[in-house]
């Protein structure tokens, strides 16, 4: 697990904020990813919540220089295989099942599994995971809850996602057990619809400048 943990850390430490994207068409995904990379956000998570998602992962992996694209909302082994085939450099899941962990075990691509309770953290630690997604962050107890986990789970670091914005990102990034945060605010639907890629690059630059 050590080599995959290092690979995941090398991606998540590229920036303080990982954009979490829901994309509806491939063309805009490529332009969006280029705008985010231009602003300093190279690691990008495309969630498998639309019919265009897999093609978007493939296009960003093939066409966007500097991007480290991952697939999110991976729920089972079939999702895993499809996301890997599309070119995902990392995989993100909202939780963890034995089926998903088994798929991850036999792959060289790292998994960022989700956890929201102490028991879930313990179970994933037993599987060898040191880097976890804390989801849904705000709804599950927020920065105060995550801070409380830092002492009993020393050595485990988190990427909190869910309800995080520019306003509260620093509440998380200032914690010793947070490596980065996931957020969708850097790619607002209205800017994507308007094709305002410069506006998205500006938001990405602001996010990239956040310091923990």
Say how far residue 87 (Cα) sits from the centre of its chain: 15
- The DSSP code sequence of 117-146 is SHHHHHHHHHTT--EEEETTTTTTTHHHHH
Show the DSSP H helices in 86-196 as ranges.
98-105, 118-126, 142-149, 169-173, 189-194
Structure tokens at 141: 């107890």
Q: Which listed residue (133, 202, 206, 211) is catalytic? A: 133
Q: Which listed residue (4, 42, 45, 138) is catalytic? A: 45
DSSP character at residue 150: T
Does 45 qualify as catalytic in the annotation?
A: yes
Does 99 qualify as catalytic in the annotation?
A: no
Neighbours of 167 (CB within 10 A): 8
Question: Among residues 109, 125, 108, 106, which one has the least CA distance to residue 117?
Answer: 125
Structure tokens at 51: 């019919």
Do 45 and 70 touch, CB atoms closer than 8 A?
yes
The set of residues, in sequence order, having a beta carbon less than 8 Å from that of 8 and lying 6+ positions away, is: 90, 110, 111, 112, 131
Where in the sequence numbering do the catalytic residues fall?
Answer: 45, 133
């Amino acid at each position: 697990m050590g080599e995959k943990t290092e690979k995941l850390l090398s991606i998540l430490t590229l920036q303080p904020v990982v954009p979490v994207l829901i994309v509806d068409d491939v063309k805009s995904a490529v332009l969006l990813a280029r705008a985010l990379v231009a602003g300093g956000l190279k690691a990008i998570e495309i969630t498998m919540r639309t019919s265009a998602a897999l093609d978007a992962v493939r296009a960003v992996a093939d066409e966007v220089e500097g991007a480290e694209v991952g697939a999110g909302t991976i729920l089972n082994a079939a999702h895993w295989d499809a996301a890997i085939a599309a070119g995902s450099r990392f995989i993100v899941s909202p939780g963890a099942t034995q089926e998903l962990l088994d798929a991850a075990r036999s792959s060289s691509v790292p998994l960022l599994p989700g956890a929201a309770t102490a028991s879930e953290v313990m179970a994933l630690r037993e599987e060898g995971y040191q880097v976890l997604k804390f989801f849904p962050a705000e709804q599950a107890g927020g920065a105060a809850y995550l801070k409380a986990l830092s002492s009993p789970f020393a050595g485990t670091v988190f990427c909190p996602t869910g309800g995080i914005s520019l306003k509260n990102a620093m509440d998380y990034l200032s914690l010793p057990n947070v490596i980065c945060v996931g957020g969708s605010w850097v790619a607002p639907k209205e800017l994507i619809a308007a094709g305002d890629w410069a506006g998205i690059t500006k938001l990405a630059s602001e996010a990239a400048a956040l310091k923990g």
